[in-house]
Amino acid sequence: MSDNNGFKTVIDSKHKLFDLHIKETLGYKDLIMLTVKKDFTAKYKQTVLGPAWAVIQPLLTTFVFTFIFGSLAKLPIADADGSFVVPGFLFYMSGNICWSYFSTTLQHVSNTFIANRATMGKVYYPRLVSPVATALSNLISFGIQFALFFVIWLFYIIKGGTSLAITPMILMVPLTIIQMMLLAIGCGIVISSLTTKYRDLAMLVSFGLNLWHYGTPIAYGLKLVPEKYLWFYMFNPMTPVITTFRNGMFGFGYFNSGYYLISWAITLAIFFVGLILFSRIERNFMDTV
């Protein structure tokens, strides 16, 4: 006879520091998919245009960036030295869709415990299900936006007259998307864990994301950053993500393997620290939320 007396699930009070419930969370894939469907449906419920907003929002934002930062401010859109020709609209859209996914996911994940406290207080399931479902739900919107970006990119490729090219760097694009997801979840669950006790942090999320946005080369190219500050600037993990994404899609730009590996190290460190915090807080968060 087994120690568990034949039961498939055993609930006990023993918790280890690195008991992150990842395997248990993956066992709830049906619940994750159900939550993804519910979140995506609720996002556009009672809207006239529905999922079309996933296309309209990046288009409007890109038009504004192109006019203000491109036509009026005339900020450089080059990431590296060279006489490359890149459509300004495509440049701004590439950064906007990436940042939109990252920031939206981070904001929603950072609100995990507070937004789901009623359900979590009544029903048991791995709490990590909620952040994962949020990231996947937002990934659907990102997929729609990326499809639009790809169509515009393909138009410029066929039309010619630019420096756009398909190179092996395009294989890095899926990796940058995965990194964005892990970084957004990691930062989000760290904030979510801390806001169960310190609600002030929730008020700083939007403000912090705005500062982070302007510290990332989205409205301008990396060449705008003075060379002597570049090493410090690249410690922002989203900077190598954005520049690598653009390099992959445009076929030229900035890529430094050392800085990129450092950004991955920072991403994974934040992600695993977040998992540890999240695992510890979820045991008694109902006492503080």
Dump pLDDT digits (tens) for 271-286: 999 888 887 776 665 5
Q: Is the pLDDT of residue 1 over 50?
A: no
Asked if residue 227 belongs to a domain, the reply is: yes
Asked if residue 168 belongs to a domain, the reply is: yes
131, 189 in Cβ contact below 8 A?
yes
User: Which pLDDT score, from 0 to 100, does residue 261 have?
Assistant: 96
Asked if residue 62 belongs to a domain, the reply is: yes
**pTM (2 decimals)?**
0.87
Question: Which parts of 44-116 fold into alpha helices (H)?
Answer: 53-65, 88-109, 112-115
| Residue 268 burial (C-beta neighbours within 10 Å; 0-12, 13-18, 19+) | middle
Instruction: Indicate the SS3 state at residue 45.
Output: coil
Dump pLDDT digits (tens) for 48-101: 667 777 788 888 999 999 999 988 888 888 888 888 888 999 999 999 999 999
Asked if residue 193 belongs to a domain, the reply is: yes
User: Tokens in use for 199?
Assistant: 């609600």
* Residue ranges making up the domain that contains 119: 22-287
User: Which pLDDT score, from 0 to 100, does residue 121 have?
Assistant: 65
Asked if residue 13 belongs to a domain, the reply is: no
How far apart (Å, rounded) are the C-alpha atoms in residues 6 and 173?
46
Asked if residue 65 belongs to a domain, the reply is: yes
Asked if residue 34 belongs to a domain, the reply is: yes
Domain count, the chain: 1
Asked if residue 1 belongs to a domain, the reply is: no
Dump pLDDT digits (tens) for 215-230: 999 999 999 998 888 8
CB neighbour list of residue 20: distance below 8 Å, 6 or more residues apart: 128, 275, 276, 279
Dump pLDDT digits (tens) for 125-168: 677 888 888 999 999 989 999 999 999 999 999 998 888 999 99
- Tell me which residue of 93, 61, 99, 74 sits closest to 236, measured CA to CA: 99
Q: Is the pLDDT of residue 232 over 70?
A: yes
What is the H or E stretch that residue 289 is in? Answer: none
Angle between helix axes 53-65 and 88-109 (nearest 10 degrees) is 120
